Every structure is written in C-alpha cells, then in structure tokens.
Amino acid sequence: MGLQGRARRGALGVLAVGTMVAAAATAVPAVAAPSPVDLQILSFNDYHGHLKPDAGSDSQLPGQGSTAYNGVEYLSTTLSTLRQGKQHSLTVAAGDLIGGTPLLSGLFHDEPSVESLNALKLDVSSVGNHEFDEGVNELLRMQYGGCRTDTGCYLPTPYPGAAFPWLAANVTWKDGVKAPKPADGYGSWFQRRTGRTILPPTWITEIDDIRSDSSG
C-alpha cells in the first residue's frame, strides 16, 4: 500500500475515534443528585374503638386538669395539628384498632371503629392480636365490608369496609383450608414460600416519585 493510502486510512481512523468520543459526551448528560424528601410518619396503636373519652381520671394526665386526652375527637385534632405545614405525611398504626372495644363500638361489631379510622385518614396498619377477637372471617369483613350474616346491616347501606389496608405478612391459611372470598380481588397476592396470607403482606406507596414499602 502506498503512503497516500496509509495516510487516508489513518485519517479515517482518527475521524472515527473522534466521532465516538463526541457521541459518548453527548449521550450521557449530567444528572443532578436527587434532593431529599421530607416525610413525616405519625403512628399510633391500641385504638380499641375508643370513640369517646374514658370517664374520669382514665383520660387525664397528672397535673393537666380535667382535659380528656383520649377519644377520637382528641386523636383527630392531634393528627390534624401535626399534619399542618407538612407536604408529605403518612399515618400508620400497629394494630389492636378493633376488639376489646367499648359498648359504643362493640355493640355494632366495631364498624364505628373502622369508620372513624377512615375519617382519620389512616394510611395503613398491621394486624394485632385483637384484630382476631371474632375470627379471621370477621376481620376480612372489617377490611372489605359487607353485612354480618347473623345480624345483617345496621344501616340502610352496607358497611363499606376499611379505606386503609391491614397487613398480615406472617398469618397464612393452613394447608387444605379453603380461603373465603369476601370481595373481588381477594387473595390476588401470593407468597410462594409461605403460602397465601390472609391479608396483603406488604403495602407500597409513592411519595414525590419515591417508592416506600411497609410489611405487616
């Protein structure tokens, strides 16, 4: 090959390398580091359907006079106050929201308890031992809604169920037990290693394009 041919190939090689470097420089734009997201998490547990404040000193704090520090009205006011000025706030619970409830809620099989928690805008809760006081099927009714088979509906419209999910990652149906289907879509989750859980094992939400998950 002559000198002119080798020079031409060398020039083409330099041109190709220069083109790749330029393409690489334009294909990877600078990405700004993500900024942190301020998330407030409010939590409570052992609600037990205390819609009204307890009588006497059971609802009072030492040295704080006769002010009642429990009941759904106090809890609602406290949550509303803590949420003010917060763009992102989650309210979560650790169970025992129903069961062992006073007459006002227990007489109606805890439907008032759940409806009050819906009004409080509870986001998610794990199950506690008292969620099982009336059995698994009743817990599923609490979650998904519907009327009881023994007493029927307490109101003209059926009980709507919980607007928040209960999580039960470690409570599964025994082998051979046929799970009831109280609502469309029930049992759509499935854990291959442990079997189907009675309620969803996890819950995922998105805060400002950032995914956050919880497990029960």
Residues 48-84 pLDDT 10s: 999 988 776 666 677 777 777 778 999 999 999 999 9
Q: What is d(CA 51, CA 104) in angstroms, rounded to the nearest whole number?
A: 8
- Up-side HSE of residue 68: CA atoms within 13 Å toward CB? 14
Q: Which letter, b or e, does each residue of 105-124 get, where b requires 16 or more Cβ atoms within 10 Å of its Cβ?
A: bbebbbbbbbbbbeebebbb
| pTM of the model as a whole | 0.77
How do residues 149-203 score in pLDDT, each as one tens digit? 888 898 899 999 999 999 999 998 888 777 766 555 566 666 555 567 889 999 9
pLDDT reported for residue 196: 79
- Res 44: pLDDT: 96
Q: Is the pLDDT of residue 148 over 50?
A: yes
Task: Count CA atoms within 13 Å of residue 213 on its CB side.
Answer: 7
- Give the CA dihedral 182, 183, 185, 187, nearest 10 degrees: -20
Dist CA 187 CA 196 (whole Å): 7
Task: Report in angstroms the alpha-carbon separations of 206 from 88, 95, 125.
Answer: 10, 23, 17
pLDDT at 9: 46
Give the count of beta carbons closer than 10 Å to the beta carbon of residue 200: 20
